Structure 1
Amino acid sequence: MSPDHPPGLDLDRLRGLLDRERPGLVNGPLTGRLIEGGRSNLTYAVSDGTGRWVVRRPPLGHVLATAHDMKREHRVISALHPTAVPVPDPVLLCEDESVLGAPFYVMEFMEGTPYRTADQLAPLGPQRTRDAVLGLVDTLVELHAVDPAEVGLADFGRPEGFLDRQLRRWGKQLDASRNRELTGIDELHAALGRELPSSPAPTVVHGDYRLDNVLIGPDDRIRAILDWEMSTLGDPLTDLGLLVMYSTRLELPNSPISTTASAAGHPPASEIVERYAARSGRDVSAVSWYTAFAWFKLAVILEGIHYRYTKGQTVGAGFDRIGELVPVFIEHGLTTLQEG
């Protein structure tokens, strides 16, 4: 298949759908390319030579529809678009699998850069890097300020018992990929369960909020938050804990895990917490628990990748080093919880 006709994207059928549903939107033959990045769903850039759009669909050959729910992603973006939260303009949702072989949605193409590594941030310099990361905090505050009921998302999740369910869910994920001794991981899981904090009022939670899941424009402002596949209604401090975790320096040479925290000018985790607290008005005294939970969750995700690597089920470079990172994440989780 040519680069202009990537797998999973039938441009003729897509054009036919757009002409029916949004007549006049497309004014020429469509070309498309796969955009790298994203946790699991496939993202394509599509153009007619003047206009540009983005198509999101589940992976090829997927079987777990709930894990790649296009309707949920489209719904949350549609609900947030009229608010101060920067998201792309949704164009349409298609649940008819005869078009591309799976449900998908189309949204506007947004200019901007997802910064994945400290090396990518380096050309910005310390001040612009600092501004971009603090903008990330401020945008998270904007997201958590949205009243779910006011934007039609009152039933977008089940906030009651959210943390307990999350902890049990990730414990089950760990059990599903156990094939070696991991010192401290059961201790970390049990300690998190014993010290479960009381959640504040529920908000829309992104679920994977970090610098490389937003697009930053030339003015260093966030143009759009992307990758809403893990979004729900729940405890907003889980987003903060994850952001704090990603803002912690990992002194790991040649790590396959991307991190921007070592970039010159990147604010320390403590400043990120203080800024969020000041701007949101939320009590962040339990942030150590949420950060430790983020370390646990990432340890489980990495162990799952390592497990698939040992079974010969991964494709690409770097997977051979994932396994050695898991104990580092467990140790950070235990230390964070003890210090809290």
Structure 2
Amino acid sequence: MDSKTKRSLTTAQLDALAIGALGAGVVTAEELPDGFANAVWRLGLDDESQVVLKVGPPPDLPLLTYERDLLRTEAMVYHLAQGTGLPMATLLHAGFDDPEIGGDWLILSALAGTPWNRAAPDPARDAALRREMGAHLATLHRIPGTGTFGYPYAGLTGATWREAFLKMVGAILDDAVKWETRLPATILDLVGAFHRNAAALDDVQAPTLVHFDVWPGNVFLNPDGTVEALIDHERAFWGDPLADFVTPTIFSDLTGDDPMLAGYQEGGGRAGFTPTSRVRFAMYQAYLYLILLVEDGPRQYPEADYARLRNGATEGLVRALGILTN
């Protein structure tokens, strides 16, 4: 989707980045339209390799508070996931605070498959994929943390999950005020809904690496319908593993017969399902829908493309608030 955060680079700039990082020049360059924040190109190099270049927003562009150093968060996930068996691209180079173009960028190995959201519907395959995705989430959630919750690069952290998550919520609500976002409830009502239910967050005692963006567009498929790779890890944080079931069920809900849950348990996952799980899940749904609504402020999506997303997020936020206020 078009976004103000996606910058343009010349062919000469793309060539210079590739040569400096990999020692090979650019022969072909295709800008990829998917994604919402970073500019992405698929590059064919003169050593006959194919790579993907991701370039972060201009460093002087105002963003949401949690979006500070997005590509550094992504690079962190790639480093932490090495050796775990998670299906991912390979991080080939990371450039931070680049003096030539400004900001951060990554070069990744190119994927050969198809995004799940572009594959033809196939109920049997999709059920198997959800089961496989559950197992991959279990692997991700076994990556050890450092003891701190939240977004380390954005400074939204805490010694407890309750402290960190309330900071994350406070930041997105501050952003909503800054960008004058239209919401289906007042800021005071939203603050109250989260804080009245905050004790449920105390069930989470150890920080887990949470992707928080595992929707079908971020899952690439092999020709046989299995998962080739999970992509776009920049929204990751340290928190409650239960939060990672929100984006795979976006605009709907998590049900007990979801194959993803079976795969998660088979993979050794423990998402902390307790009597407060429904409340915690609704809090994470509300947080995600707030992000989707507020991010239009700095990104300025084309209205024709964004209207459906806005409507879905608004309706989802209302449903989540219904659970939190009962």
Calculate the TM-score normalised by the size of structure 1: 0.74
**What corresponds to 1:281 in structure 2?**
270
Which range moves more in the overlay, 102-111 or 162-171? 162-171
What is the distance in 2 between the residues matched to 1:301 and 1:63?
17
Distance apart, 1:60 and its partner CA: 5.2
Distance apart, 1:53 and its partner CA: 0.2
Read off the aligned partner of 2:30 and give its amino acid letter. Answer: R
**What corresponds to 1:194 in structure 2?**
196
User: 1:177-214: CA deviations, max 9, x gaps?
Assistant: 44657347754542332222212311222132222212
Read off the aligned partner of 1:280 and give its amino acid letter. Answer: G
What is the distance in 1 between the residues matched to 2:60 and 2:130?
34
What is the distance in 2 between the residues matched to 1:73 and 1:111?
20
Distance apart, 1:243 and its partner CA: 3.3
What is the distance in 2 between the residues matched to 1:22 and 1:335?
52
- Residues 40 and 54, structure 2, Cα contact 8 Å, conserved in 1: yes
**What corresponds to 1:294 in structure 2?**
284
Gaps in structure 2 of 5+ consecutive residues: 1-5, 147-151
Which range moves more in the overlay, 86-95 or 7-16? 7-16
- Residues 113 and 217, structure 1, Cα contact 8 Å, conserved in 2: yes
**Correspondence 1:182-261 to 2 at 5 A:** 182-183=184-185, 186-196=188-198, 197-198=201-202, 199-248=204-253
Read off the aligned partner of 1:315 and give its amino acid letter. Answer: P
**What corresponds to 2:145 in structure 1?**
148
Read off the aligned partner of 2:50 and give its amino acid letter. Answer: R
Task: Tell me the SS of whatever aligns to 1:88.
Answer: coil
Calculate the TM-score normalised by the size of structure 2: 0.77
**What corresponds to 1:30 in structure 2?**
27
- Residues 162 and 235, structure 1, Cα contact 8 Å, conserved in 2: no
Matched, 1:84 2:85: yes
- Residues 144 and 236, structure 1, Cα contact 8 Å, conserved in 2: yes
What is the distance in 2 between the residues matched to 1:179 and 1:280?
37
**What corresponds to 1:115 in structure 2?**
116
1:44 to 27, 41, 55: 41
Read off the aligned partner of 1:170 and give its amino acid letter. Answer: I
1:168 to 170, 173, 179: 170
Distance apart, 1:289 and its partner CA: 2.3
What is the distance in 1 between the residues matched to 2:224 and 2:278?
33
Task: Tell me the SS of whatever aligns to 2:212.
Answer: coil
User: 1:225-251: CA deviations, max 9, x gaps?
Assistant: 211221232222222234344553xxx
**What corresponds to 2:95 in structure 1?**
94
**What corresponds to 1:152 in structure 2?**
none
Read off the aligned partner of 1:173 and give its amino acid letter. Answer: D
Distance apart, 1:63 and its partner CA: 2.3
What is the distance in 2 between the residues matched to 1:37 and 1:52?
18
Distance apart, 1:11 and its partner CA: 4.1
Distance apart, 1:292 and its partner CA: 1.3
Read off the aligned partner of 1:284 and give its amino acid letter. Answer: F
What is the distance in 2 between the residues matched to 1:30 and 1:80?
31
What is the distance in 2 between the residues matched to 1:12 and 1:314?
28
Distance apart, 1:112 and its partner CA: 1.9
- Residues 134 and 262, structure 2, Cα contact 8 Å, conserved in 1: no
What is the distance in 1 between the residues matched to 2:293 and 2:7?
29
Structure whose alpha-carbon radius of gyration is higher: 1
Gaps in structure 1 of 5+ consecutive residues: 1-5, 150-154, 249-266
Q: Between the two proteins, what is the percent identity of the paired residues? A: 19
- Residues 292 and 313, structure 2, Cα contact 8 Å, conserved in 1: yes
What is the distance in 2 between the residues matched to 1:39 and 1:100?
20
Read off the aligned partner of 1:90 and give its amino acid letter. Answer: L
Task: Tell me the SS of whatever aligns to 2:205.
Answer: coil
| Number of aligned residues | 302
Task: Report 1 or 2 for greater relative contact order, CA contacts < 8 Å, sequence distance ≥ 6.
Answer: 2
Matched, 1:131 2:159: no
